[in-house]
Structure 1
């Protein structure tokens, strides 16, 4: 008896594309918890600089989203994805050089920032192009499913890559870990050679990027606000545990990723079935509880449970809102809209690192997660307002 993947080649191709994203995203996941450790422990700099080392990668993604979306629409998703994989590898090599220059902290930090910017630009290309590629393979009717499985790949990589990075840092050092990070996107590049191209739209008329952002602003704002919780876990969970002298610091991203992937696997179809906003409302409420648990944790088990709940809550917000965004724009604007939409999440990731680092220096690491809770609460209020407005429109003839 043949499997459904055998009967439908598009499903097999989507699975391979998801594997490409998972393997290559380990290049992002592995440095995430160890860059702050490298900056504070080996370079002797403050938490503000540690947060900047993490967050500057997202600055590159924010600034490049519009260009990347247009490139994806005009030249094709496969070209954009392969360029992103190359930038991943080059950025990891530059960060490797920073590890070898730790004896000169200021110079090493400057080199590290250069590598992180390249990785951020690569991530911008990958996340937009791979989703657009997946939607092109299976069709827009299954867009939230594509967003769900791609997100599962990303956060599955985070769940594995986070603790793996911590272990490798202890065993082979920062430079050795970056060397392994440089190899992974090369494997992903080779895997893309077996995937079909999807149609580009080089000549289609397109409105300004700002006008597209205007259509999707509030959906993007929800994604931005929910992203604060994950960014806080990624940048400061290890340092929080070390400051409290708690064990199992490397399991924060694992707990988050486990909750994230669990929901994506079991409920990835829900936005297509019941609508994006109801799913986002429930998700943001769960994230809010998770961030409060980390903020008030008297014991590491509470903090890990909070990370798990944050993963459960964050899991479906991006695909839920992404489904609504895809429905708001024409097919030839899909890459541009997804680029702008993803930029909202990048803003959360890029600003949370340095600002939360500044807060941690003054008020302690736990207060960082109070900010995450307030972000989730604000996103919940916006989602409730959009849902109420949508229901009124549905009832009005």
Structure 2
């Protein structure tokens, strides 16, 4: 109590410009820490975006494989990421966030080498396909390790009071990397060939490594007793389920909005994707501090209401403009869901378990994206494409109910 009073007395006697200087220094420190991590994450997700833009064409056109094989090649990475979340969390907590991140980056480099070998062996279809599958699995494991490490590293260096801001800027880097990487890969494949696309993945992994090499490592408490992964999942289930249901709207747009536009003869759907991504990023840029400032629970509830309205607009749209507005609102609403609920999730565990908690929490997002597409496809087969977005609306409302229930029982 005396210490608190001393601090309060000191603060009351401190000139206002001293507080201003302290805040400026704190923000400068935050930027010095987070910018290298954001560069690293952006480079990592550029490699993921580039493979999303190049692998389907390479497998289908160069290796002459069918759509099922294309789907398997794309899906293997997400499956590997999901299945290694527990491993990534354990490595992050026991070996250190920096090591986890760097091990993941090295695996991306290895995946890049294997991709190049697949391109070189493209005349031997079976071997090339095997190499692509192997690279996709390694790429998925690398994503799990590198991003779990990056998030835990950033939060550990700047403090839990800015955890929402760290997750927000990481998310910007992730989605921007995918958005930029895919068209770059498509252009490069046509201009200089697929081998250069895969070679650039190796270069980007080196850039990711160098970006964070000077950042301090976090201390590791090797003696800390760590519960099993399934128990950590139990601790964050409320936030994870909320994230999973909120993510369905994003999955519906990414998978079926182009088919809705085609069916309705609304023209090119690219503006729907652009507005969703643009408003998603702008919301994160301008409101990144909201989860820390106002609390994850309040921000998540408001975000879900906005997303639900956006999904409802798409599902009842009578014009392309109405659907595009719905995509914009979905982008705004979905933007802060991960950091808002993530702030609540990591508070349920000790700092020594933060990596495992983030892995368990992120697994719900992976699972949602994996299941939402097939379920939405079944709904479209039974009804129509509009029904998919009514499904997205209901999912947001279910997420609201989950949050109410969990907040009531805290």
Q: TM-score range by the shorter chain?
A: 0.7 to 0.9
1:69 aligns with 2:101: no
Structure 2 CA distance, aligned partners of 1:246 and 1:104?
A: 42
Structure 1 CA distance, aligned partners of 2:267 and 2:194?
A: 21
1:289 to 309, 316, 328: 309
1:139 to 138, 146, 159: 159
1:156 to 155, 171, 176: 176
Structure 1 CA distance, aligned partners of 2:375 and 2:125?
A: 22
1:45 aligns with 2:57: no
In structure 2, what is the equivalent of residue 123 of structure 1? 143
1:380 aligns with 2:391: no
TM-score scaled to structure 1, two decimals? Answer: 0.83
Q: Residue deviations 1:295-346, cap 9 Å, x none?
A: 5556655554443332211111111111111111111111111111111111
Structure 2 CA distance, aligned partners of 1:369 and 1:182?
A: 39
In structure 2, what is the equivalent of residue 194 of structure 1? 214
Residues 243 and 226 of structure 1, relative CA distance in 2, 3 Å threshold: same
Are the aligned partners of 2:76 and 2:133 in contact in 1 as well (CA < 8 Å)? yes
The alpha carbon displacement at 1:375 in A equals 3.0
2:347 is paired with a residue whose SS is helix
Are the aligned partners of 1:69 and 1:337 in contact in 2 as well (CA < 8 Å)? yes
TM-score scaled to structure 2, two decimals? Answer: 0.81
Structure 1 CA distance, aligned partners of 2:69 and 2:381?
A: 11
Superposition RMSD in Å: 3.4
Q: Residue deviations 1:202-244, cap 9 Å, x none?
A: 2211112111111111110111122233334445556766787
Q: Residue deviations 1:341-393, cap 9 Å, x none?
A: 11111112233455556777887766655544443332233123334x16xx6
1:307 is paired with a residue whose SS is helix
Structure 2 CA distance, aligned partners of 1:363 and 1:41?
A: 33
Structure 2 CA distance, aligned partners of 1:254 and 1:335?
A: 32
In structure 2, what is the equivalent of residue 178 of structure 1? 198
Counting matched residue pairs gives: 389
Are the aligned partners of 2:84 and 2:144 in contact in 1 as well (CA < 8 Å)? yes
Which runs of structure 2 are paired with 1:54-133 in the superposition (5 Å)?
A: 54-98=74-118, 109-133=129-153
Please list every run of 5 or more consecutive structure 2 residues that lacks an aligned counterpart in the other structure: 1-19
1:342 to 350, 362, 365: 362
1:316 to 336, 346, 363: 336
Structure 2 CA distance, aligned partners of 1:300 and 1:171?
A: 33
1:222 aligns with 2:242: yes
1:260 to 275, 280, 295: 280
1:307 to 316, 321, 327: 327
Q: Residue deviations 1:94-129, cap 9 Å, x none?
A: 345555666777765554333222221111112211
The alpha carbon displacement at 1:257 in A equals 2.6
1:154 is paired with a residue whose SS is helix
Are the aligned partners of 1:21 and 1:153 in contact in 2 as well (CA < 8 Å)? yes
| Higher mean C-alpha displacement, 356-365 vs 70-79 | 356-365
Structure 1 CA distance, aligned partners of 2:52 and 2:30?
A: 33
The alpha carbon displacement at 1:16 in A equals 1.6
Are the aligned partners of 2:53 and 2:181 in contact in 1 as well (CA < 8 Å)? no
Residues 132 and 232 of structure 1, relative CA distance in 2, 3 Å threshold: same
The alpha carbon displacement at 1:259 in A equals 1.5
Are the aligned partners of 1:51 and 1:235 in contact in 2 as well (CA < 8 Å)? no
1:199 is paired with a residue whose SS is coil
Structure 2 CA distance, aligned partners of 1:98 and 1:285?
A: 46
Are the aligned partners of 1:51 and 1:354 in contact in 2 as well (CA < 8 Å)? no
Please list every run of 5 or more consecutive structure 1 residues that lacks an aligned counterpart in the other structure: none
Structure showing greater relative contact order (alpha-carbon pairs closer than 8 Å, 6 or more residues apart): 1
1:213 aligns with 2:229: no
Structure 2 CA distance, aligned partners of 1:34 and 1:108?
A: 14
Residues 29 and 302 of structure 1, relative CA distance in 2, 3 Å threshold: farther
Structure 2 CA distance, aligned partners of 1:132 and 1:94?
A: 29
Structure 1 CA distance, aligned partners of 2:128 and 2:262?
A: 24
2:84 is paired with a residue whose SS is helix
The alpha carbon displacement at 1:17 in A equals 1.2
